[in-house]
Amino acid sequence: MSRNAKINALLLLVVAALAVLPLVFGMGDHKKEPFAGADAEAETAITEIEPDYEPWFSPLYEPPSGEIESALFALQAALGAGVLAYYFGLRRGRRQGELRVLAQREGGQDPTAEAPGGTGGSGAGPDRLTERA
């Protein structure tokens, strides 16, 4: 594992720890409803401050159950993660392609190869690339 990958893994590990530790230490135990959403708690606080307040508009569409709601949240995360993964995959592929072209050009300067600037895929290039990858 390269130093780079280690740092990235460490970053993920700390994020995971920050999410898990409140659960492990039972930091929601003092609450009637542990680990409820802060948004919902704010609604409760509003009705505490102004008991007569009635929301004057209701959502056009409301997920009929918690399952549907979590499905839609998962969809949202999946869409985002999919696009991010596509981006990084594409970049990586492009960079490998550029490296391959470079390797082929270097190969092209080999006396046994075709003239420089030509397509020059004369054995040496692709082999060197696989070593790199």
Partner 1 sequence: MHIAEGFLPPAHAVAWGVASAPFVVHGVRSLTREVREHPESTLLIGASGAFTFVLSALKLPSVTGSCSHPTGTGLGAILFRPPIMAVLGTITLLFQALLLAHGGLTTLGANVFSMAIVGPWAGYGVYRLLRRFDVPLMVAVFFAAFVADLSTYCVTSVQLALAFPDPSSGFLGALGKFGSIFAVTQIPLAVSEGLLTVLVMRLLVQSSKGELTRLGVFLAGKRSRSGTNGTDATNQTNETNEANETTGTVTR
Which residues form the interface with partner 1 (CB under 8 A)? Answer: 2-4, 7-8, 11-12, 14-15, 18-19, 22-23, 27-31, 34-39, 41-43, 45-46, 49-50, 53, 55-63, 69, 72-74, 76-77, 79-84, 87-88, 90-92, 95
In angstroms, rounded to a whole number, what is the distance separating the alpha carbons of residues 11 and 9?
5
Q: To the nearest whole angstrom, how small is the minimum distance from the Cβ of residue 124 to partner 1?
A: 19
Residues 6+ apart with CB under 8 A from 63: 69, 71, 72
Q: What is the CA radius of gyration of the chain?
A: 28
Q: Which is nearer to partner 1, 83 or 115 (CB)?
A: 83
In 3D space, the residue among 109, 65, 115 whose CA is nearest the CA of residue 124 turns out to be 109
Closest CB to partner 1 among 63 and 123? 63
Q: Decide if 107 contacts 113 (C-beta within 8 A).
A: yes
CB of 125 closer than 8 Å to CB of 100: yes
Report, in Å, the least distance between residue 105 CB and partner 1.
Answer: 17
Looking at beta carbons only, is 62 or 115 nearer to partner 1? 62
Q: Which is nearer to partner 1, 90 or 123 (CB)?
A: 90
Q: Residue 127 CB, nearest distance to partner 1 (Å)? A: 18
